[in-house]
Amino acid sequence: MGDRKLRKERIGVVTSNKMQNSIVVSEVKRVKHPKYGKFVLKTKKYVAHDEKNDCGVGDKVRIMEVKPMSKTKSWRLMKIIERAK
């Protein structure tokens, strides 16, 4: 039970929910460019398991890393933080 604390968690926005029991979550980071010093937006996409199909596009969610469920899906929906308006 203690190893659950070590699992990675991410917060992002749902960009697609067209698959059954799966969602695509985008995480946006602001990274400073090493040479020019300007902040650049970096986007990373994760495919996560959504058991009840509750999420809609634009929802802010928290996902947790789990063992691989398929070729691309190795994250699970933990909580919907904020619904899309």
State the CATH number of the domain containing residue 55: 2.40.50.140
| DSSP code, position 38 | -
CA 18 to CA 53: how far, in whole Å? Answer: 10
pLDDT of residue 85: 86
Indicate the number of domains in the chain: 1
Domain that holds residue 31: 2-82
CA 72 to CA 61: how far, in whole Å? Answer: 19
Question: Model confidence over 2-60: pLDDT tens digits?
Answer: 666 689 999 999 999 999 999 999 999 999 999 999 999 999 999 999 999 999 999 99
Global confidence as pTM:
0.86
Q: Is 56:25 a contact under the CB 8 Å cutoff? A: no
